[in-house]
Structure 1
Amino acid sequence: MFIDAPADNCRVTQGGPRPDPAILAQLEPYPSANVGDAQDRLNIMSSTIKAQWPGARCVGVALTVHTREGDNLAIHRALDDAQPGDVLVINGHSDSNRAVFGDLLAEICLTKRVAGVVIDGTTRDRDPIAEMQLPLWATGVTPTGPTKNGPGIIGEPIACGGVVVETGDIIVADGDGVAVIKRDRLTTVVDRLAAVDEAENRIRARIREHAAAQEGALA
């Protein structure tokens, strides 16, 4: 860790096999809304978890963190094990009194090539993080910083935004919010996304044909 604090009270469980990067890459064109549609509009986090700067987007593999309210020791410890393309998914118990994330942790994330951070809790240093372009979702912002005492749990199933997330699940997040794909459903969801996209494009084409016909009638 980059901080001088003991992390003996943070339990770490190693995740299972990571998803095929080639299949994961197929999610890049799709918004979180379509990912939800491809799963019967389930596995979408609460709208209280919002993008913290315009244009934030990420697709990556969840690394779960369960931390005590207002404490971020477990987040620092989790970053020791983070791999490029991971998305930190943090259960901070929706606490609004103390931020569990800030610009120093954001710098560590960028150094580790973390794809994004999703917090059921609050952040601080929103403007510097936006300048760094680290994709970040949280329930809110407060200037009050965290403690670093623990305890915490890394790598085990958590609740975040009303969705159960396991390390190895896939996160697709953008300005609309955060969608989760269970890792054993990845191929199925990717296949369904093409059908969702095709159906939307057919409707869009009909709308535009109707608009063009109306313009022609008025000419």
Structure 2
Amino acid sequence: MSNVGCRVYLKINRPGKELVEGFKGLPVANIADEMNRFSCVDARIKPFNHTPLLGTAFTVKGRIGDNLLLHKALELAQPGDVIIVDAQGDTVNAITGAIMMTTAQKQGLAGVVIDGAVRDAGELKELDMPVYAAGVTPKGPYKDGPGEINVPVSCGGVVVNPGDIVVGDEDGIVIINPQDAVVIMEKAKAKLAKEQAIFKTIQEGTPRDKSWIDKRLNSLNCEIIDDYYK
């Protein structure tokens, strides 16, 4: 009988490395635009350093304030994995700190995302591995369990499945289903190229067509009043 709430799945359908690497250098905002602004992790989950995040989701669902399953995940995760911890958004106890995260970096993990709190913020800033979390507290975790590994989890309001592609930068994190990845990637690359062309025209002082603004306001029957507010 399956022990729901205390299970560890050892296998993940990881996407190919080439597919994941295709998102390297693409701004999260461009990717999100091409996903109709969905699948973006909540803004309260922020980066603790400037290292870009890119890898494959290795999911952990833990009890509030407890990191037993994260310790187990560090034994199982492979280089290139991003450990995503569903700590239910609770920030009373830190789920991890510098020792565990330095271990993760040494093992070649691509990053760690905690929907909860961390501690040792100063040390995390110096890591070459990205760490994201919802808060900081010196209060440490418990190690009692239960929890699950490599099941669907919730992180910042987004459902994350094991094997999803995780991309993050200073704006935040977006989660991509590998089945949609090729189309999203190509659209995001086109979006980036378009924006780079816009930046070039701005630098050159070329006027941009902004007629769409008034067209939109007209469609809303917006009043344009040539007078002071009274």
TM range (shorter): 0.7 to 0.9
1:128 aligns with 2:123: yes
Alignment correspondent of 2:148? 153
**Cα separation, 2, equivalents of 1:56 and 1:37:** 22
- Shift in Å at residue 161 of structure 1? 0.3
Alignment correspondent of 1:102? 97
Which one is further off, 129-138 or 158-167? 129-138
1:192 aligns with 2:175: no
What is the one-letter code of the residue matched to 2:143?
Answer: K
Which one is further off, 157-166 or 32-41? 32-41
Alignment correspondent of 1:4? none
Q: Secondary structure at the match of 1:132?
A: coil
**Cα separation, 1, equivalents of 2:201 and 2:11:** 46
- Matching of residues 1-219 of structure 1 within 5 Å: 10-53=6-49, 55-210=50-205
Detail structure 1 runs of 4+ shifted over 4 Å in the superposition. none
Native 8 Å contact 1:15 1:167 kept in 2: no
1:51-76, CA deviations, whole angstroms, 9 ceiling, x for partnerless residues?
A: 112x1311000000000110000100
**Cα separation, 2, equivalents of 1:132 and 1:81:** 21
What is the one-letter code of the residue matched to 1:18?
Answer: R
Q: Secondary structure at the match of 1:74?
A: helix
- Shift in Å at residue 202 of structure 1? 2.6
Structure 1 vs Structure 2 CA RMSD: 1.6
Give TM-score, length-normalised by structure 2. Answer: 0.84
Q: Secondary structure at the match of 1:189?
A: helix
Matched length: 203
Native 8 Å contact 2:12 2:150 kept in 1: no
- Shift in Å at residue 165 of structure 1? 0.2
What is the one-letter code of the residue matched to 1:95?
Answer: D
1:128-170, CA deviations, whole angstroms, 9 ceiling, x for partnerless residues?
A: 1222333110011000000000001100000100100001001
**Cα separation, 1, equivalents of 2:41 and 2:11:** 22
